[in-house]
Amino acid sequence: MTDILYGLNPAQREAVTKTEGYVRVIAGAGVGKTKALTHRYAYIVSELGISPSNILCITFTNKAANEMKKRIKAMLGEEFDTSFVATLHAFCTRVLREDISKLFYPENFIVLDNIDQKKILEEVYDEMDIKMDTASFKFMIDQIRYYKNRITYVEYLSDPNFDYSTLVSGKKTDEIMFRYIKKQRKYFGLDFFDLINFTIYLFRAYPDILKKWQNRLHYIMVDEFQDITAKEFKLIRRLSEGNQNLFVVGDPDQNIYEWRGANMDVLVDFEGWLNNRCFENQYGFRCHDIIMSENYRSTRPILAVANSLIEKNSNRVKKELFTQKQGGQTVEYFHGKNDKEEIKYITDKITAHVKDGGKYSDFAVLYRSNYVSRFVEQGFLTANIPYVVYGGIGFYERAEIKDVLSYMRLVNNPDDDLSFLRIINVPRRKIGKIKLDVLKNYAEKNQVSLYKALSVCYLYDSFKGCKAGEFLAAMENLRTLADTLSVSELLSRIIKDTGYELYIRESGDIERLDNISELLRGIVTQETEFGEHLSLATFLQTVTLLRDSDAPDKSDCVKIMTLHTSKGLEFETVFLVGLTEGIFPSARSLEERKKDALEEERRLCFVGITRAKKNLYLTESEGFGVKGYSKVPSRFLFDIDPALLHMVGEVPQEIRHQTAVQSKEFDGGNNRVYKKGDQLRHKVFGEGIIEEVDEKTRTYFIRFTNGIKPISFDYKGLSHIF
């Protein structure tokens, strides 16, 4: 007992020793919550004598589960079974391996990953003679995921005699989706959404199986509880009803996944959700609250900035991070006149640190959106600073950037066969393998390029029905325009005239369009700074040199990543860059989810700030953004008490005013009144619970006793049940 409790602060000790009942721990960033969780597990085993087979500990990622197992075994010994320290998906897989036969699936069912899903979709697309690319794959997976939010599909998937033709509505996306689900059933494959849904359905259909697991699991602990969905909570609550020992730990201030279904309210109003949010039963559960706010990661100045920012949010559990550490450098806020000044400030700091004997790996550069990495990567390549895009792909390696650069290369040089092969069927022009073989044979026989071969072969009967003629006409026109248009103007014409912009828009992947817009913005900046006419050939040569530059050994390099990727990580020094209104907070998120999005964006900024251990730099610059608007500082910079920041550069008063004007556009309430998980009364259908909220169609999907109904935001016949 002494060893397990040794080194714990009072809040951690309370979390470890409060083993019975419902316990909610609000654990801020860097407060040692993993330590508390692992010590609590060890305490229950060694001091209460409970077998690990009766303890379930749910983590958010496999990485977190493995780290916890490692720490637990270091305390208890290697012989202890920690297989119930797992993600919720892994736990559900175990449940289903035991009893999925009840649903007419074999116990050796396949767990489908992204590659498996893509293979199944490829089969469907081949059957329907549709070309699949990365964008359409992502779009269809999103459609399937959205459909599977309603758990009713499990009922017919578990019926071996179900007639799938009854599901087809006539829409192509629906046909693709139901063909996919039918094939999934044929292969006995379950994706991650199915694992949760099948387990919930199994417990609902077979109460004896639920009872078996309730009796088995005497203690349940859940990490990162702020990121749980209402559906996942319902499953966990059901499991805990047997022994009523549920311990949850999380931080509402670090919930950054609401956009994909996480419901922070489950943690904020934990007791309310225990008792009356799932309307089948009413309970009288009480929970014990513990606040962990002593931070072991960051300095006092960094925590002061974090606290000052996040206190502006209203939907949270109030707390203030503090540390026993003394001293620390004041957080710097840099304002530049343009991107060039902003990246020079960053590279100068890094270079000076390395010259003084430091390492590149001491630094991380964080940004809100992937496209912001362009100016960072370009600056690092120019300054010969080694970097790695952590958890992502470098700007110039992204598919859409490679595509448009290939179009530009083909305009510049129609004999570029590599560029031709990359884009000839992007977007789809019905020029498949057979037609390409014809082109290759003609080109080899006549010693010409594939482009020139197409200019002859497109008249063949075998090329009828394809769009080769349209492609050639567009390219020839673009080659003519290249002599008179600037590079940026030419790129704008390329993406329109070739149909590439429409192709991206139809894919629904707006981030890819943002990347192209950022490339365009970078070209305009380059044209302005070049001092003379920037030719297409010169631009392409510059890009090639950037991509092929010999960087030093990347074992010691700066990590650059999105803020979402940085969650759970920590770094000696952090640059939080691109703090521009419209980029951060994201204008698109604010348009879609209003105040909810604003608070989530602020939480995301808080997460970025609290990644820093010793030094934190906040940067932004003037200029124009991807949509052509004038860039102004993020409102988040003015949420922070200015006394806590060391200002480098001066923000003109008119720019401060513009930030205030833009901020007011999104300072109102939400268009919707209710949220996912709310229990409501409909004046006709009676009591129900919101299972999904579609902001785009302004629709609630509410489960009533007679099924799920789509109810408009504007409908006045709804009222809360408290």
Instruction: Note whether residue 356 is domain-resident.
Output: yes
Q: Indicate whether 456 and 508 sit together in one domain.
A: yes
Q: Indicate whether 286 and 143 sit together in one domain.
A: no
> Which pLDDT belongs to residue 305?
97
Confidence of residue 550 (pLDDT cuts 50, 70, 90): very low
Q: Is the pLDDT of residue 670 over 50?
A: no
Cα(448)–Cα(470) distance, rounded to whole angstroms?
21
Q: Are 96 and 109 in contact (CB under 8 A)?
A: yes
Confidence of residue 579 (pLDDT cuts 50, 70, 90): very high
Instruction: Note whether residue 608 is domain-resident.
Output: yes
Instruction: Note whether residue 646 is domain-resident.
Output: yes
Amino acid at 401: I
Q: Indicate whether 151 and 178 sit together in one domain.
A: yes
Express each pLDDT in 488-503 by its tens digit.
899 999 999 999 988 8
Q: Indicate whether 228 and 80 sit together in one domain.
A: yes
Express each pLDDT in 586-618 by its tens digit.
887 887 777 888 999 999 999 999 999 999 999
Which residue matches tokens 């990567």? 377
Express each pLDDT in 399-436 by its tens digit.
889 999 999 989 988 888 888 999 999 888 888 888 89
> Which pLDDT belongs to residue 133?
65
Q: Is the pLDDT of residue 548 over 70?
A: no
How many domains in the chain? 5
Tell me which of 265, 292, 319 is where a domain ends. Answer: 292
Where does 358-404 show beta strands of DSSP type E? Answer: 363-367, 387-389
Domain extent, residue 682, equals 678-720
> Which pLDDT belongs to residue 38?
94
CATH number, domain with residue 279: 3.40.50.300
CATH number, domain with residue 436: 1.10.486.10
Q: Indicate whether 561 and 635 sit together in one domain.
A: yes
34 carries an active-site annotation? yes
Which residue matches tokens 């393998």? 433
> Which pLDDT belongs to residue 123?
87
* Range 337-341 average pLDDT: 92
Tell me which of 502, 532, 562 is where a domain ends. Answer: 532
204 carries an active-site annotation? no
Tell me which of 153, 177, 193 is where a domain ends. Answer: 193
Helices and strands, counts by H and E, the chain: 30, 20
593 carries an active-site annotation? no
Instruction: Note whether residue 3 is domain-resident.
Output: no
* Range 533-548 average pLDDT: 76
Instruction: Note whether residue 166 is domain-resident.
Output: yes
Confidence of residue 395 (pLDDT cuts 50, 70, 90): confident
The DSSP symbol for 397 reads G
Three-state DSSP string of 548-582: HCCCCCCCCCEEEEEHHHHCCCCEEEEEECCCECE
Q: Which two tokens stand for residue 170?
A: 């006539």
Q: Is the pLDDT of residue 292 over 90?
A: yes
In angstroms, what CA-CA distances link 202 with 219, 277, 515? 21, 21, 44
Single out the catalytic residue among 99, 191, 194, 223. 223
Confidence of residue 279 (pLDDT cuts 50, 70, 90): very low
Q: Indicate whether 575 and 693 sit together in one domain.
A: no
Instruction: Note whether residue 380 is domain-resident.
Output: yes
* Range 102-115 average pLDDT: 88
Single out the catalytic residue among 117, 254, 562, 699. 254
Single out the catalytic residue among 34, 143, 382, 679. 34
Q: Indicate whether 598 and 712 sit together in one domain.
A: no
Using the Cα atoms of residue 675, residue 677, residue 679 and residue 680 in order, give the sign of their dihedral.
Answer: positive
Q: Is the pLDDT of residue 551 over 50?
A: no
Q: Indicate whether 248 and 272 sit together in one domain.
A: yes
Single out the catalytic residue among 99, 191, 194, 224. 224
* Range 207-216 average pLDDT: 95
* Range 531-538 average pLDDT: 78
Determine phi and psi for 576, rounding to 5 degrees: -100, 105
254 carries an active-site annotation? yes
Express each pLDDT in 359-392 by its tens digit.
999 999 999 988 888 899 989 988 999 998 887 7
Single out the catalytic residue among 71, 238, 611, 631. 611
Instruction: Note whether residue 449 is domain-resident.
Output: yes
Is the pTM value of this prediction over 0.85?
A: no
Range with the poorest average pLDDT among 11-20, 271-280, 292-301, 666-675: 666-675
| Residue 491: HSE in the Cβ half-sphere, 13 Å Cα cutoff | 24
573 carries an active-site annotation? no
Helix ranges (H only) for 223-269 are: 230-240, 265-268
Q: Is the pLDDT of residue 722 over 60?
A: no
Q: Which two tokens stand for residue 11?
A: 């809040």
> Which pLDDT belongs to residue 169?
65
Instruction: Note whether residue 222 is domain-resident.
Output: yes
CA-CA-CA-CA dihedral for 691, 692, 698, 703, to nearest 10: -20
* DSSP string for residues in 48-115: T---GGGEEEEESSHHHHHHHHHHHHHHH-TTS--TTEEEHHHHHHHHHHHHGGGGT--TTPEEP-HH
Q: Indicate whether 174 and 64 sit together in one domain.
A: no
> Residue 718: beta bridge partners?
682
223 carries an active-site annotation? yes
Single out the catalytic residue among 13, 24, 33, 594. 33
Neighbour order of strands in the sheet with 612-621: 387-389, 558-562, 363-367, 571-576, 612-621, 331-336, 645-648
Amino acid at 525: T
Q: Indicate whether 151 and 40 sit together in one domain.
A: no
Q: Indicate whether 475 and 427 sit together in one domain.
A: yes
Q: Which residues does 31 contact at the CB level (< 8 Å), separation at least 6?
A: 11, 292, 293, 294, 295, 296, 321
Range with the poorest average pLDDT among 27-36, 456-465, 480-489, 543-552: 543-552
Q: Indicate whether 365 and 414 sit together in one domain.
A: no
493: buried, middle or exposed (CB in 10 Å: 19+, 13-18, 0-12)? middle
